Amino acid sequence: MVECTLNDLRPGIKARIIKVLAKGTVRRKLMDMGMVPGSEIEVVRTAPLGDPIEFRIKGYSLSMRKQEAVNIVVETIA
Amino acid sequence: MADNRIRVALTGNPNVGKTTLFNVITGSRQHVGNWPGVTVEKKSGLKIYKGYEIEVIDLPGTYSLTAYSLDEVVARDFIVDEKPDVVVQIVDATNIERNLYLTTQLMELGSKMIIALNMYDLAEERGDKLHVEKMEKILAMPVVRTIASDNVGISELLDTVIAEKQKENHHAREIGYGDEIESRIIEVEKVLSQDKELASRYPLRWLAVRLLDGDENILRKIAGSGIAQEIKSILSSLDIEVYEALMADKRYEIISAMFPQMCERCMTRMTTSDMIDRVMTNKYLGIPIFLALMWGAFELTFSFANPFMTIIEMIFIWLGEMAAVHIHPDWLASLVGEGIIGGVGSVFSFIPNIFILFFLLSMLEDSGYLARAAFIVDRVMYKIGLQGKSFIPMLLGFGCNVPAIMATRSIEDRMDRMATIMVVPFISCGARLPIYILFAGTFFSKNAGTVIFCIYLLGILVAVASAKLLRTTTLKGHPAPFILELPPYRVPTLKNSIRHMWDNGSMYIRKAGTIILGGSVVIWLLAALPWGVEYGSEVSFIGIIGHAIQPLLGPLGFDWKISVSLLFGFVAKEIVVASLGVLYGVGDDHFALTDSLLADPNMYSITALSLMVFSLLYMPCVAVVGIIKKETGSWKWTAFSVAYGLVVAWLLAFVVFQGGKLLY
Amino acid sequence: MEQYSSRSKEKMFFAFLAGFLYLLAGSIQFVFSLSTMLGLFPVISFENGLIGIFFAPSDLIGSLILVLIGSIFIYGLTELRTGLNEGIAYIYVGILISLLFATVYVLVMAGNWMDSFLLNGPETNGWDLLYDLRPAIYLGILPLCGYLIWRKEFRAMNK
Ligand SMILES: Nc1nc2c(ncn2[C@@H]2O[C@H](COP(=O)(O)OP(=O)(O)OP(=O)(O)O)[C@@H](O)[C@H]2O)c(=O)[nH]1
Ligand SMILES: [Mg+2]
């Protein structure tokens, strides 16, 4: 188990959210969409041009940019 | 309120089928599409059912009661302030876990609630086992299975609504947040209870929870109350960020405890959608596929429409001949032949293109590819200071700019939204298409397709450049975060696409029968008066107006006829073609407008190009001006948008015409 | 997946065939279109024999689309070869997209035919079938077969 931020993960890797460092509305929006500590999240793919990243969380697909993903601390699941 | 009137609000996450359900209940035809954020306004409809008058209100989708974008504000305000008799939350049966988050918030509000477990077909097809009775028991509210797109479960839902309405008293269901938070809730609640007015409007516990959850809207709601100060001091002594995280956490914890009991085998698997997406968003193939699909849609819009255009043209030419032969006196024949048939007819012949365009746009929306397109181009949009979500209104703008500008409501960031509103008018809408087809077809016969394609590209380029310009000047600031749900792909249904095509296409027919008809008659009158002048000559009213403004547009290569047509084009872009139809007198002889244009010694291919560029870029129509005013809420921005469009149009048309003249 | 089932071998062969044909047709048409545009050696249907008939329509973007479709199949093939079962997705989407474009061109062809019928009556002198018969149409037969064969399987991926 390695602790890192969400943008570091390669596609196909599963992880568990530890902390959401974002502030203000972004933070709340992320939490409303299921990004709470303890949730499992999987990196699905990056967009053709390298940014946003698509994730799967709570059974649906969510996309966000790397600069938002930086603010989510996760640990990888074996 | 009479006993047999029931107000029902449809709420839920985005893209779960609220509008589809609304349409089947009320028989409406509101816009449905497979991407989050289709509905941006509340819409209401009436259903008479078993002697009850049920008013159904369709709301925009929202992930929680904390609203971030304008459309979410509409949804939240309605649920919280207007107190519908029954709240129906539509839950996507394939995505229960996240959907229940909103449920936990709605429960606390204490409205009478029903869950419509929609897209039941997809969950079953996937092999999920849903225990509806268990779900009812755990959530303590009725759960009804529905398949909105197939009209299944609707009467059960309505029966449940009536039963729920008749139930007498009702309590808010509480969620335990753990000792620490609970004690805070009680503390805040106690302070709140001093304000009797507030206590009568909202459940106090709910208010307390929302306040601790950092909901600024609620803070604003209590701002006028005497206890506002006290509340503020309690809140400022706490670290709200910790609280909101704890509370969101708690809600999801409760959900994950309930979820396995409601649903077996509801796990994620590699689905068709994933498979398709692997290819559609592939690193190397994604962008070429995107461009190819756009080009295919373009090709079809222009090529497949040809025979239908020919039929309509033939009908109107025939009508023109009939008018010339059979109508007396001469002035009336001229009004009908040149004015009405010439004007309306020249616009009518482009209706097939517009129908195909809307059909294809609808396929794009229903397939789920629209959200992917936003995902793919976000990087580019970021570079120009916008975001992927701005791309959705831009694509919709190819149909009509008005709904496109309304669609910007789902963009959370105000700056992003303003910039998007300002650039959407440069996206070439269906109403501008007749101008291109007419002029490109006439003057670039063999390369017409390429020329039109370039015009569309120019519109996109100007939009992009303008966005960049705005974001580095007046609307300076960092681009807002981009957080977007990607819905699963679905096979677009022919029924939905045809309906969409018809609803939007028939708008053009209606427009042709009203505004364009009126405009054509006005132009004919101006061309025929003062009494006794030669029709459409330089001494007629229209000649005088045309000559007055021609010096302004002369440098772009336009003579007075074109100048005056462009002037009237402010009302609606089709009028440019209609008024040329009137002025060149199509109904008069056997020749179509194309021939008259070719015969005009003042028209060259360069003029045609300059005209297309100008028409593309200057203010689309009064309806767009109106919607910009409404959506920006500012006359300043509206005026800016019009002026900026005119300046850009003039400059680029100038470059095209003068540059072209130099080359030849 | 180390070993390919016989099924995926079939698919690999299909991907190879379709990819090869689309790429080939696309490249030939690209060269012809470019040279026609630049006026080097214009290729006009009948005059250049079979090759002219098949690839004559000067259609630069159309040729690029053929190349794209071919690449999707080949990409799928390489994924299948490296043992990634997901390569099947490329075959599926490749079939979908090639059928989509075949439909587009068939509709364009039908439109042009009807248009010339309306303008000139039944003796269709204004219309050149060979001009409208784009490679995307006749090549589309192959993915159509693929679709018919694997239709059930693609649907079943949902489960
Ligand atoms: N298979 C299936 N598809 C459905 C069902 N209900 C709705 N859909 C599809 O789901 C998509 C979304 O439907 P909408 O009615 O636009 O959803 P909405 O909740 O109003 O979405 P927003 O307005 O964006 O919040 C459309 O493509 C519908 O055709 C259903 O019961 N089964
Ligand atoms: Mg809706």
Half-sphere exposure of B610 (CA within 13 A, CB side): 25
Contacts with A54 from chain B: Cβ below 8 Å: 277, 281, 375, 486
Instruction: Please determine, for residue B478, whether its predicted confidence score (pLDDT) is greater than 70.
Output: yes
Does residue B226 sit in the same domain as residue B108? no
Set out the domains of chain A in order of their start, with CATH numbers.
3-77 (2.30.30.90)
Instruction: Find the B36 Cα to ligand 2 centroid distance in Å.
Output: 8
Instruction: Please determine, for residue B203, whether its predicted confidence score (pLDDT) is greater than 90.
Output: no
Q: How many CB pairs under 8 A join B and C?
A: 87
CATH code of residue B244: 1.10.287.1770
**How many Å apart are CA C59 and CA B167, to the nearest integer?**
69
Q: Is any atom of ligand 1 closer than 6 Å to the C-beta of B20?
A: yes
Lateral strand order in the sheet of A60-64: A3-5, A72-76, A14-20, A40-46, A53-57, A60-64, B483-486
Q: Do B287 and A49 touch (CB under 8 A)?
A: yes
Instruction: Find the B38 Cα to ligand 2 centroid distance in Å.
Output: 5
Instruction: Please determine, for residue B268, whether its predicted confidence score (pLDDT) is greater than 70.
Output: no
pLDDT band at B616 (very low <50, low <70, confident <90, very high): very high
Q: Is C70 an interface residue toward B (CB < 8 Å)?
A: no
ipTM for the whole complex: 0.93
Is residue B305 helix, strand or coil?
A: coil
Number of domains in chain B: 3
B295 alpha carbon, distance to own chain's centre: 22
Does residue B20 sit in the same domain as residue B159? yes
pLDDT 10s digits, B385-424: 888 888 889 988 888 888 899 889 888 888 889 999 999 9
Which residue's CA is minimally distant from atom 32 of ligand 1?
A: B119
Q: Of B283, B286, B483, which is closest to A33 when you measure between CB atoms?
A: B483
Contacts with C75 from chain B: Cβ below 8 Å: 282, 284-285
Instruction: Please determine, for residue C27, whether its predicted confidence score (pLDDT) is greater than 50.
Output: yes
Sign for the pseudo-dihedral over CA of C65, C70, C73, C75: negative
C40 alpha carbon, distance to own chain's centre: 26
Q: Which of B23, B31, B32 is the best mutation target for the ligand 1 pocket, counting ligand atoms within 8 Å of the beta carbon and taking the most?
A: B32
DSSP state of B493: P
Q: Mean pLDDT score of chain C, rounded to an integer?
A: 78
Does residue B107 sit in the same domain as residue B195? no
Lowest mean pLDDT among A3-12, B462-471, C50-59: C50-59
> What is the number of helices (H) and of strands (E) in chain B?
33, 9
Encoded amino acid at B422, one letter: M
Residue B330 lies inside a defined structural domain of this protein: no
Stretch C15-27: mean pLDDT: 91
Cis ω before B530 (30° cut-off from 0): yes
Residue C27 lies inside a defined structural domain of this protein: yes
Residue C79 lies inside a defined structural domain of this protein: yes
Q: Is A41 an interface residue toward B (CB < 8 Å)?
A: no
CATH code of residue B124: 3.40.50.300
Longest dimension (CA), chain B: 92
**How many Å apart are CA C28 and CA C8, to the nearest integer?**
30
Does residue B142 sit in the same domain as residue B255? no
More confident residue, C85 or B244: B244
**How many Å apart are CA C87 and CA C69, to the nearest integer?**
15
Q: Is any atom of ligand 1 closer than 6 Å to the C-beta of B117?
A: no
Does residue B158 sit in the same domain as residue B220? no
Smallest CA–CA distance, residue C57 to chain B, in Å, is 13
Q: Is any atom of ligand 1 closer than 6 Å to the C-beta of B459?
A: no
**Strand partners for B118:** B92
**How many Å apart are CA B21 and CA B10, to the nearest integer?**
9
Q: Considering every ligand atom, which ligand is closest to the CA of B62?
A: 1
Q: Do A62 and B412 touch (CB under 8 A)?
A: no
Stretch B349-366: mean pLDDT: 87
| Ligand 1, atom nearest to B35 Cα | 24
Instruction: Please determine, for residue B590, whether its predicted confidence score (pLDDT) is greater than 50.
Output: no
> C-alpha angle B499/B500/B504, rounded to 5°?
115
Which residue's CA is minimally distant from atom 7 of ligand 1?
A: B17
pLDDT band at C69 (very low <50, low <70, confident <90, very high): very high
Lowest mean pLDDT among B428-432, B459-463, B594-598, C16-20: B594-598
Single pTM value for the model? 0.87
Residue B633 lies inside a defined structural domain of this protein: yes
Instruction: Please determine, for residue C124, whether its predicted confidence score (pLDDT) is greater than 70.
Output: no
Residue recorded with tokens 């100038």: B654
Residue B477 lies inside a defined structural domain of this protein: no
Counting residues of chain B whose pLDDT is more than 90, the rounded percentage is: 20
- What is the reported pLDDT for C84? 66
Q: Is any atom of ligand 1 closer than 6 Å to the C-beta of B149?
A: yes
Instruction: Find the B388 Cα to ligand 2 centroid distance in Å.
Output: 20
What the block records as the tokens of B633 is 């809420």
Contacts with B278 from chain C: Cβ below 8 Å: 86, 89-90
Closest CA to B164 of B213, B123, B202, B112: B112
Instruction: Find the B367 Cα to ligand 1 centroid distance in Å.
Output: 11
Residue B574 φ/ψ, nearest 5 degrees: -60, -25
- Between strands B86-92 and B112-118, the pairing is parallel
Does residue B594 sit in the same domain as residue B545? yes
**How many Å apart are CA B146 and CA B149, to the nearest integer?**
9
Residue C127 lies inside a defined structural domain of this protein: yes
Contacts with C112 from chain B: Cβ below 8 Å: 303, 306
Asked if B361 and B375 touch (Cβ cutoff 8 Å), the reply is: no
Instruction: Please determine, for residue B544, whether its predicted confidence score (pLDDT) is greater than 70.
Output: yes
Residue after which a domain boundary falls, among B102, B131, B166:
B166
Residue B566 lies inside a defined structural domain of this protein: yes
Stretch B600-607: mean pLDDT: 78
- What is the reported pLDDT for C129? 67
- What is the reported pLDDT for B637? 92
Instruction: Please determine, for residue B604, whether its predicted confidence score (pLDDT) is greater than 50.
Output: yes
Residue after which a domain boundary falls, among B264, B279, B299:
B264
Stretch B311-327: mean pLDDT: 80
Residue after which a domain boundary falls, among B141, B166, B191:
B166
Residue C1 lies inside a defined structural domain of this protein: no
More confident residue, C72 or B580: C72
How many other CB atoms are there within 10 angstroms of residue C51's CB atom?
11
Q: Do C100 and B276 touch (CB under 8 A)?
A: no
| Ligand 1, atom nearest to B120 Cα | 31
Q: Is any atom of ligand 1 closer than 6 Å to the C-beta of B34?
A: yes
Instruction: Please determine, for residue B647, whether its predicted confidence score (pLDDT) is greater than 90.
Output: yes
**How many Å apart are CA B93 and CA B135, to the nearest integer?**
12
Q: Is any atom of ligand 1 closer than 6 Å to the C-beta of B147?
A: yes
For residue B230, the enclosing domain spans 179-264
Residue C22 lies inside a defined structural domain of this protein: yes
**Strand partners for A56:** A42, A61
pLDDT 10s digits, B413-452: 888 899 999 999 999 988 888 888 888 888 887 777 778 8
| Ligand 1, atom nearest to B61 Cα | 25
Residue recorded with tokens 């009203």: B514
Residue B600 lies inside a defined structural domain of this protein: yes
Q: Euclidean distance between the first and final Cα of chain B, in Å? A: 76
Stretch C37-54: mean pLDDT: 59
Does residue B528 sit in the same domain as residue B637? yes
Number of domains in chain C: 1
- What is the reported pLDDT for C158? 45
Does residue B226 sit in the same domain as residue B113? no
Residue B421 lies inside a defined structural domain of this protein: no
Residue C66 lies inside a defined structural domain of this protein: yes
**How many Å apart are CA C137 and CA B307, to the nearest integer?**
20
Encoded amino acid at B266, one letter: C
**How many Å apart are CA B412 and CA B375, to the nearest integer?**
16
Which residue in chain B has the smallest CA separation from C102? B296
Does residue B11 sit in the same domain as residue B160? yes
Instruction: Please determine, for residue C42, whether its predicted confidence score (pLDDT) is greater than 70.
Output: no
Which residue in chain B has the smallest CA separation from A61? B486
Closest CA to B542 of B519, B560, B520, B557: B560
Residue C128 lies inside a defined structural domain of this protein: yes
Long-range contacts of C143-151 (CB under 8 A, 24+ apart): C143/C18, C143/C94, C143/C95, C143/C98, C143/C99, C143/C102, C144/C99, C144/C102, C146/C14, C146/C18, C146/C91, C146/C95, C147/C95, C147/C99, C150/C11, C150/C92, C150/C95
Does residue B85 sit in the same domain as residue B212? no
Does residue B80 sit in the same domain as residue B210? no
More confident residue, B2 or B116: B116
Asked if B620 and B434 touch (Cβ cutoff 8 Å), the reply is: no
Q: Of B248, B282, B283, which is closest to A36 when you measure between CB atoms?
A: B248
- What is the reported pLDDT for C3? 43
Does residue B122 sit in the same domain as residue B189? no
For residue C28, the enclosing domain spans 6-156
Q: Of C68, C88, C157, which is closest to B289 when you measure between CB atoms?
A: C68
pLDDT band at B592 (very low <50, low <70, confident <90, very high): low
R_g over Cα of chain A: 11
Instruction: Please determine, for residue A17, whether its predicted confidence score (pLDDT) is greater than 80.
Output: yes
**How many Å apart are CA C76 and CA C71, to the nearest integer?**
8
Closest CA to B373 of B582, B381, C132, B321: B381
Residue B469 lies inside a defined structural domain of this protein: no
